[in-house]
Amino acid sequence: MAGSRQLIVVANRLPVRRVTVDGQPQWATSPGGLVSALAPVMSERPESLWVGWTGAAGNAPAPFTHDGINLHPVELSRADVELYYEGFSNGTLWPLYHDAISQPEYHRTWWDTYVKVNRRFADAVLSVADPDAVVWVHDYQLQLVPGMLREASPDLRIGFFFHTPFPARELFLRLPWRSRVVRALLGADLLGFQSEVGAHNFRHVVPRVIDSDDLEVEVGDEDISFVGRTVRTRNLPIGIDFDRFEAGASTPDAADHQAELRAQLNQPRRVLLGVDRLDYTKGIERRLRAYNELLSEDRVSADDTVLIQIAEPSRSNVNGYAEIRGAVEQMVGEINGRHGTMARPAVHYLHRSHSFDELMGFYRLADVMLVTPFRDGMNLVAKEYVATRFDDTGVLVLSEFAGAAHELHDAVLVNPYDIDGLKEAIEYAVFMPMEEQTRRMTAMRTAIETNSSAAWARGFLEILESA
């Protein structure tokens, strides 16, 4: 019966992180959309557990329970982190799956370790799984796990979800190990994607990398028949905990933080905001360049408008990240040197992480939210901003290449590669009449409220368990 089986979640990271409180290390729940999405469904199943890495190299701790979730740590050595995580996952797959914005690298040592670590995750699942358990594997780091599980335990019900985009066929075919990856993914019963584009791209790849003469594969409009099994492919975009963000933005503390921030900025008339991981896929430098040109052309004035760019540290050991940090910081300095003053910088750049409560203040402060990645599987920041706008004010400028654009049609959609188009979109957003703001924001809030993170998780599992 659906819902009665053991549920095992498999992700690269466990939903906890190490923190120090009063000088003592302890576990704390990690922030993030996946944790908030899965916690409710896991709490409904007492036998459920989460398999993943703690984030620290070295010996893994014994299984433990945190916030009612049973956690099963997987061990990664320093070499595993370097070759599997920083190497193949983030040096090969991440750029390849994001349209090769940065050139992917292909190294056999990276691939060999990727196989070895995926096997370790699969073995960890097999050591605790009931014969008919439901196993939900997440994201590009663990693409081989479904096939390994299927081979070892055919009665498992296996789902896989791509949080990243799945690339176009011509890009994916560059991967030397493409056939092994696709065959492993076809070990799943259900493959979920952030958009129909990703699902289409995968179905388009399958017959190209699997020899049709074997009569092993037949690709339909949604389902794939593979060695006598049916693999479902579905467009299942992830949501957010809408109520949490709306409530968090409505508190007196959020209002006080918003007022405090505006005072610190010398009461600007308009505030623009970007909140991103410091990643070359996010388009931060190009966004800053567009803003710089708007100021230079007097289409926006630094006297009454300010841009806050939050760039959270990310993957500092991976090639390309030091370069983008240098480029972003140089652009910030150039803008402030040309358009800012000691009392009023044109751009406030914050290279650090912020708490949930702090983000609520920033989201409420922002008159215009800039979400302009070159490529993104979803981008939950766009949805978070919309959820905090309980008074239906504010404008979202959104890249058409973010997965969120498939749901948030009333954002100001933009091609982030087009500097002139980006400038026009920002200028249009800055001066948008309140009536239009309200109309657009009301529609977007309705769209994301109906697709909450918990509804997404339950919907995925319902499809998986009915297979």
Other Cβ atoms closer than 10 A to 235: 16
Residue 59 to residue 77: CA distance in whole angstroms: 8
pLDDT value at residue 31: 80
Tens digits of residue pLDDT in 317-361: 666 688 899 999 999 999 999 999 988 999 999 999 899 999 999
5 neighbors 132 (Cβ within 8 angstroms)? yes
160 neighbors 191 (Cβ within 8 angstroms)? yes
Residue 219 to residue 217: CA distance in whole angstroms: 7
CATH 3.40.50.2000-classified regions of the chain: 7-238+453-465, 242-450
Weakest-pLDDT range from 88-102, 216-230, 375-389, 426-440: 216-230
164 neighbors 379 (Cβ within 8 angstroms)? no
Mean of pLDDT values over 395-423: 97
Mean of pLDDT values over 362-368: 97
b (16+ CB within 10 A) / e for 106-123 = eeeebbebbbebbebbbe
Percent of the chain surpassing pLDDT 90: 85
Measured CA distances, 324 to 177, 314, 329 (Å): 29, 11, 8
Assess whether pLDDT exceeds 90 at residue 141. yes
Of 337, 307, 156, give the one whose Cα is nearest residue 229.
156
Assess whether pLDDT exceeds 50 at residue 1. no
Tens digits of residue pLDDT in 260-300: 999 999 999 999 999 999 999 999 999 999 999 999 999 99
As a whole number, the mean pLDDT across the chain is: 94
For the four alpha carbons of 49, 79, 30 and 377, in that order, the dihedral sign comes to negative
Residue 425 to residue 397: CA distance in whole angstroms: 7
159 neighbors 190 (Cβ within 8 angstroms)? yes
Tens digits of residue pLDDT in 175-189: 999 999 999 999 999
Residue 101 to residue 375: CA distance in whole angstroms: 9
Long-range CB contact pairs, 176-181, < 8 A, 24+:
176/106, 176/111, 177/111, 178/205, 178/209, 179/209, 179/210, 180/144, 181/143, 181/144
pLDDT value at residue 217: 86
pLDDT value at residue 11: 98
pLDDT value at residue 39: 87
H helices of 297-406, in order, are 321-339, 356-365, 380-388
Nearby residues of 259 by Cβ (< 8 Å), 6 or more positions away: none
343 neighbors 266 (Cβ within 8 angstroms)? yes
In the three-class reduction of DSSP (H, G, I as helix; E, B as strand; rest coil), residue 407 is classed as coil
Measured CA distances, 112 to 83, 87, 233, 400 (Å): 9, 11, 28, 36
Q: What class, spelled out in words, does domain 242-450 have in CATH?
A: alpha beta
Domain 7-238+453-465 has CATH 3.40.190.10: no
Residue 209 to residue 186: CA distance in whole angstroms: 12
Q: How confident is the model at residue 208 (pLDDT cuts 50, 70, 90)?
A: very high
237 neighbors 196 (Cβ within 8 angstroms)? no
pLDDT value at residue 309: 98
Annotated active-site residue in 80, 139, 276, 376: 376
How do strand 223-226 and strand 217-219 relate by DSSP bridges?
antiparallel
Annotated active-site residue in 72, 98, 138, 163: 163
pLDDT value at residue 316: 64
396 neighbors 370 (Cβ within 8 angstroms)? no
Tens digits of residue pLDDT in 24-55: 888 988 887 898 889 889 988 878 999 999 99
H helices of 104-177, in order, are 108-126, 145-152, 169-172
324 neighbors 285 (Cβ within 8 angstroms)? yes
What are residue 52's DSSP bridge partners?
73
Say what the pTM is. Answer: 0.95
Catalytic annotation present for 200 = no
Give the pair of three-digit tokens for residue 371.
Answer: 């979400």
Catalytic annotation present for 392 = no
